[in-house]
Amino acid sequence: MEFNDFLIDQGQIIHKDKDDHLFRQGDMNSSLYYIKQGFLKAYYISEDGKEFVKSFLSTGNVIANLTSVHLKQPCSYSVICLEPATLIMVSFEDLYQRSLEDQSIARTIIEVLLKLALKKERREYEFLCLSAEKRYDLIQKNMPELLEKVTQNDIARYLGITPVALSRIKNRQ
């Protein structure tokens, strides 16, 4: 069985409004979500209430809080819809079990995880080796649509700096 068939077969379609949460930091969540349509934001809130944007998620991608679905611990971050969204929700556990029997599904999971690992390695590289200004340059070069879609506040928090600092960076370019 194909991954997509499994989603259609076992999954549940859910609709979310703008500003609705998929899950919240601190809660348990055992689902994997496929984004049929929408644009979402994954973010951390620190102990002193500051927000940091982990990633932006768009149509065609899947999202699951690994800490919760795999380690069975509370979600380490929240996910909120930046626009109305349609998703397919499945139990991660069910999908994982199915992958043990089904070649095609195992293959897709490996593919998804490889892609995720590469993306996270890329982001690790940017934080480790580049200045905030260089990281902003990369967004301008590689994801210009992002600058249209989200506020400068969210871009700043994605870069790991404050909105004030981002305004300064733009100013000196």
Partner DNA sequence: TATTCGTTTTAACCCAGGTTAATTACGGCC
Partner DNA sequence: GGCCGTAATTAACCTGGGTTAAAACGAATA
- Contact pick of 46, 103, 142, 171 for DNA (by CB under 7 A): 171
- Contact pick of 132, 139, 144, 173 for DNA (by CB under 7 A): 132
Instruction: List contacts with a copy of itself (CB under 8 A).
Output: 44, 46, 50, 52-54, 66-67, 70-71, 76, 96, 99-101, 103, 106-107, 109-110, 113-114, 116-118, 120-121, 123-125, 127-129, 160
State the CB neighbour count (10 A cutoff) for residue 110: 11
Contact by Cβ (8 Å): 83, 18: yes
Our finding on whether 26 is near DNA (CB under 7 A) is no
Please give the structure tokens belonging to residue 65: 């809080």
- Write down the least CB distance from residue 150 to DNA, Å: 8
Classified as helix, coil or strand, 47 is coil
Our finding on whether 152 is near DNA (CB under 7 A) is yes
Our finding on whether 162 is near DNA (CB under 7 A) is yes
Residue 136 burial by Cβ neighbours in a 10 Å radius (0-12, 13-18, 19+) = buried
Contact by Cβ (8 Å): 126, 138: yes
Contact by Cβ (8 Å): 119, 61: no
Our finding on whether 140 is near DNA (CB under 7 A) is no
Residue 124 interface partner, choices DNA, a copy of itself, none, CB cut-off 5-8 Å depending on type: a copy of itself
